[in-house]
A = this chain, B = another copy of it.
């Protein structure tokens, strides 16, 4: 069996999220429909980030196993030809047999886009940014964001769900707010994210812009460990999964290699 690793970009607008659901159009569902006949495999995928309905991806990573001998680049072209314009398989590569897109992920980079201006965004940006009807106080939002950097219990920023997790402690190693005219980006990199955590963080930081909260309130919100302490959930269509980070591939210790334990 081969283990194939895919890097996938998609426009989440028309999809009910990543994960296959009976009777709903999902990104995973579409990929399975397309990859299964080409590889003559009942494709079962593992994915780095199960994006929600309406969330986009530029660098989503998934893997699946197949006995098919098809060359990766041929598979990629065949899949892209069958998929619509809103899903693009950017890369397919052979992965080591034990590679798992979710378990092996070390960090993820999410970008949340805002159009901060009284006017609507231009039509080609509209599906990918949340319209914030005024300019943004970037300085205040940045000051608030600083309090979330590092390792914290992010329970206050977790929307309740049935997704199992051992802990609500996560580490955010980057939370940058940048502006280019009316375009604002929140770039968030962390070792893992609770359910709707990025959107809850952005929604809370936006309340600092409105003056409803002060930047100094952020530590208290973390301490509360209560969803009600934080702000609203920012809409899905502003969010894009940009990249998933994995450990660099090191060769296994020589002894194991010789015995074929790769």
Which residues of chain A have a CB within 8 Å of any CB of chain B? 9-11, 56, 58, 77, 80, 85-88, 90, 118-124, 126-128
Contacts and interface: CB of A to CB of B under 8 A. Distances in A.
B11 A88 contact: no
A118 B81 CA distance: 10
Q: Report whether over half of chain A's contact residues are helix, strand or loop; otherwise say mixed.
A: mixed
Contact of A122 (B9, B118, B119, B120): B9
Integer count of this chain's copies in the complex: 2
Given A80-B120, A88-B119, A90-B119, 19 more contacts: A9-B122, A9-B123, A10-B123, A11-B123, A11-B124, A56-B123, A58-B122, A77-B118, A80-B119, A85-B120, A85-B123, A85-B127, A86-B123, A86-B126, A88-B120, A88-B122, A88-B123, A124-B127, A124-B128
A88 B117 CA distance: 13
A90 B118 CA distance: 12
A24 B32 CA distance: 37
Contacts of A87: 123
A211 to B, nearest CB: 23
A18 to B, nearest CB: 15
A126 B85 contact: yes
Contacts of A85: 120-121, 123, 126-127
A219 to B, nearest CB: 37
A119 B85 CA distance: 11
A86 B212 CA distance: 32
A126 B123 CA distance: 13
A9 B124 CA distance: 10
A126 B124 CA distance: 10
State the 10 A-B residue pairs at the shortest beta-carbon distance, nearest first: A85-B126, A11-B123, A86-B123, A88-B120, A80-B120, A9-B122, A9-B123, A124-B128, A10-B123, A85-B123
